[in-house]
């Protein structure tokens, strides 16, 4: 694999040391997280914590462009792996929307809530109540919120169709919506081919892929983090695009418009080698 560090016993041992060190550090931080107020300060602390993980992973982040200064701001992006949750807060600040089910997860749900994650209940029976809750929360936030409208990660070969229900709270609101595109690259800027991206860098459910290659094995989030440590990391390149005019659109039109913008740009950049 060109651009990927070969797996050997020394890399594996070094990765194991870094992996254990990081998670011991996380455990030590739990009491501090418990004392921090929910929202901005917890999000900032989370970004500092994630910068440590990103450093240990060997991930480098580059941002092209700037986010809008308008608030409330919803940032919409494609989603390849779990590493977006670490790199986005570092590169752009802000926090995430998450599925309502995560809120009830032991420890993980509590930490996510403390860090300012906004949970979305996507059940049709809860649509109106969820809409009101999210709109009220967005009005109070002065930092960007990230949304992955594909609803899952992909193999990186394409951008999955966006779930229109996730844009209910945008319709008729004063929320600024800004699309960004995220690509993975080798450290030298070279393109990661679809097969290698799916096999080693993406984190996804094979059964949910519509296009492109599937990996030979599924990894948990924890094992994927360890695997990337062994491989030596990669680059995350974020391209910030201008907010499109969405006034007067319903949720389906918003989803289609944003998907086309992000998908077109992603496919343009995906196989383009950086100088």
Over residues 102-121, the pLDDT tens digits come to: 787 766 677 777 777 888 77
Q: 0.85 cut: is pTM over it?
A: yes
**In angstroms, rounded to a whole number, what is the distance separating the alpha carbons of residues 59 and 53?**
9
CATH number of this structure's domain 9-269, picked from the four choices 3.40.1130, 1.10.1740, 2.40.30, 3.30.1490:
3.40.1130
Contact 48, 269 (CB under 8 A): no
**In angstroms, rounded to a whole number, what is the distance separating the alpha carbons of residues 151 and 205?**
12
- Residue 220: per-residue pLDDT: 84
Q: Which two tokens stand for residue 93?
A: 């600040």
Q: Which two tokens stand for residue 201?
A: 């860098």
Distance of alpha carbon 86 from the chain centroid: 8
- Residue 34: per-residue pLDDT: 77
In order, the DSSP letters of 175-238 are -EEEEEEEEEE-TTSPBPPHHHIIIII----GGG--SS---SS---HHHHHHHHHHHT--EEEE
Other Cβ atoms within 10 Å of 246 Cβ, number: 17
Say what percent of the chain tops pLDDT 90: 51
- Residue 256: per-residue pLDDT: 98
Q: Which two tokens stand for residue 176?
A: 């600024």
Confidence band, pLDDT 50/70/90 cuts, at residue 219: confident
The residue extents of the domains of the chain are: 9-269
Other Cβ atoms within 10 Å of 44 Cβ, number: 16
Which whole number is the average pLDDT over 15-19? 92
**Residue pLDDT, tens place only, 125-173:** 666 777 777 888 888 888 899 999 998 899 999 999 999 988 988 998 8
The 10 Å CB-count burial string (b at 16+, else e) for 87-117 is: bbbbbbebbbbbeeeeeeeeeebebbbbbbb
**Residue pLDDT, tens place only, 183-207:** 999 999 999 999 999 999 998 777 7
Other Cβ atoms within 10 Å of 33 Cβ, number: 16
Which whole number is the average pLDDT over 237-264? 97
């Amino acid at each position: 694999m060109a651009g990927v560090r070969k797996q050997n016993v020394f890399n594996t041992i070094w990765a194991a040391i870094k992996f254990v060190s990081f998670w011991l550090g996380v455990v030590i931080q739990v009491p501090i997280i418990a004392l921090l107020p929910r929202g901005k300060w917890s999000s900032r602390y989370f970004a500092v914590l994630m910068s440590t993980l990103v450093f240990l992973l060997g991930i480098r982040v580059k941002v092209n462009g700037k986010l809008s200064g308008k608030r409330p701001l919803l940032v919409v992006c494609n989603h390849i792996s779990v590493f977006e949750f670490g790199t986005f807060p570092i590169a752009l600040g802000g926090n995430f929307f998450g599925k309502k089910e995560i809120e009830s997860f032991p420890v993980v749900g509590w930490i996510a809530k403390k860090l300012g994650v906004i949970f979305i209940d996507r059940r049709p029976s809860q649509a109106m109540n969820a809409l009101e809750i999210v709109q009220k929360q967005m009005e109070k936030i002065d930092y960007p919120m990230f949304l992955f409208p594909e609803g899952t990660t992909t193999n990186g070969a394409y951008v999955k169709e966006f779930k229109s229900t996730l844009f209910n709270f945008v319709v008729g609101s004063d929320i600024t919506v800004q699309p960004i595109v995220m690509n993975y690259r080798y450290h030298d800027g070279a393109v990661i081919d679809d097969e290698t991206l799916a096999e080693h860098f993406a984190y996804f459910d094979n059964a949910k892929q519509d296009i492109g290659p599937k990996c030979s094995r599924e990894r948990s989030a924890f094992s994927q983090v360890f695997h990337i440590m062994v491989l030596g990391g990669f680059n995350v390149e974020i391209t910030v695009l201008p907010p499109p005019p969405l006034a007067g659109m319903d949720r389906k039109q918003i989803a289609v418009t944003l998907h086309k913008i992000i998908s077109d740009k992603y496919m343009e950049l995906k196989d383009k080698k950086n100088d």
